[in-house]
């Protein structure tokens, strides 16, 4: 008889690329996980992996079984999440967010999760977008919040919120009453987040599409440093308007009017079916409700 443990072994070997990595993921020995695959192969009388290769590559039949296994594991966890007492869930759930997210709606999410799952240990990790996505691909994070610029065919995508970024600078640097063009702004020093940031990568691609080249660019990966340097008059930046509205109202920053304006960025939550699927669905839904209700930003 096929068991969920055998299907989990097949799923995680296929996801992580090796028996060793899957054994670490499932907290078991490599020999034990190999035994589960052998049991599957004996049940179906077919090989699940091509053992002539150095990496764990599925055979045709193995790929077919993986499709069914993924669906069965998803349905199992969905059932557990809907029927069981969710407060009984125990374990770690690793969520990756960026600096701006940590500064805005993350504390509310942590509080909400602790109320629904008091025995669940939520572990936030704060990094730039590219690093979060790398850790997510390597199964070091269970859910990440990123700009809709990173993609993973194995993941479920939950749309969250649209972030409005505008050009900002020190009131001493430029005339905020004037309508500027992108060509005009390209002559200024740009304080950018760089391609390690999701928003930095997004706007770098947009600038290239608009045939705009900033000849003087300073890469600042830390958001607080970027805001501080912009306030000092070192250069112009694209920054989240809602989050920094208090600095605009206080006169520490001013918004630069530009035609065309910066495009908004859509943000999503990514998670993979499998372990903790029921929980991750709830976290994605809570993040959505928090964003819609409080109009706080989710950014990367």
pLDDT-derived band at 204, boundaries 50, 70, 90: very high
Q: What pLDDT score was predicted for residue 110?
A: 82
How many beta carbons lie within 10 A of that of residue 261, not counting itself?
13
Q: Give the mean pLDDT of 187-212.
A: 93
Tell me, what's the pLDDT at 79?
A: 64
What percent of the chain has a predicted confidence (pLDDT) above 70? 85
Tell me what pLDDT residue 207 has.
95
Would you say residue 235 has pLDDT above 60?
yes
Average predicted confidence (pLDDT) for the chain: 84
**Would you state the structure tokens that stand for residue 98, as one six-digit string?**
């960026």
pLDDT tens column, 31-43: 999 999 999 988 8
Contacts of 133 (CB under 8 A, 6+ apart): 144, 146, 150, 152
| pLDDT tens by residue, 54-97 | 778 899 998 999 988 888 887 776 666 655 655 555 567 888 99
Question: 120: Cβ–Cβ under 8 A, 6 or more apart, which residues?
Answer: 89, 90, 91, 92, 93, 113, 114, 279
Q: Name the pTM for this structure.
A: 0.67
Nearest alpha carbon to residue 134 among 100, 91, 96? 96
Greatest mean pLDDT among 22-26, 69-73, 201-205, 283-287 = 201-205
> What order of strands is seen across the sheet that includes strand 265-271?
120-126, 91-97, 143-147, 265-271, 156-163
User: What's the mean pLDDT in 110-114?
Assistant: 78
């Amino acid at each position: 008889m096929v068991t969920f443990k055998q299907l989990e072994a097949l799923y995680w070997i296929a996801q992580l690329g090796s028996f060793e990595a899957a054994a670490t993921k499932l907290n078991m020995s490599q020999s034990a996980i190999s035994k589960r695959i052998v049991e599957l192969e004996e049940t179906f009388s077919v090989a699940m992996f091509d053992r002539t290769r150095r990496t764990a590559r599925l055979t045709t039949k193995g790929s077919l079984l993986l499709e069914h296994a993924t669906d069965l594991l998803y349905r199992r966890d969905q059932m557990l999440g809907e029927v069981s007492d969710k407060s009984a869930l125990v374990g770690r759930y690793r969520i990756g967010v960026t600096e701006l997210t940590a500064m805005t709606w993350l504390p509310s999410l942590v509080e909400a999760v602790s109320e629904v799952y008091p025995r669940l240990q939520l572990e936030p990790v704060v990094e730039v977008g590219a690093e979060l996505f790398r850790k997510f691909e390597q199964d070091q994070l269970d859910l990440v919040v990123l700009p809709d610029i990173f993609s993973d065919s194995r993941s479920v995508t939950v749309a969250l919120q649209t972030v409005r970024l505008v050009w900002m600078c020190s009131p001493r640097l430029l005339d905020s009453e004037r309508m500027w063009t992108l060509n005009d702004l390209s002559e200024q020093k740009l304080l950018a987040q760089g391609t390690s940031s999701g928003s930095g990568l997004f706007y770098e691609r947009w600038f290239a599409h608009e045939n705009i080249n900033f000849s003087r660019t300073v890469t600042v990966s830390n958001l607080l440093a970027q805001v501080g340097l912009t306030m000092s008059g070192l250069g112009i930046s694209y920054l989240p308007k809602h989050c920094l509205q208090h600095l605009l109202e206080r006169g520490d920053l001013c918004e630069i009017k530009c035609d065309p304006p910066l495009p908004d960025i859509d943000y999503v939550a990514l998670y993979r079916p499998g372990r903790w699927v029921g929980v991750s669905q709830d976290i994605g839904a809570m993040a959505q409700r928090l964003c819609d209700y409080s109009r706080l930003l989710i950014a990367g």
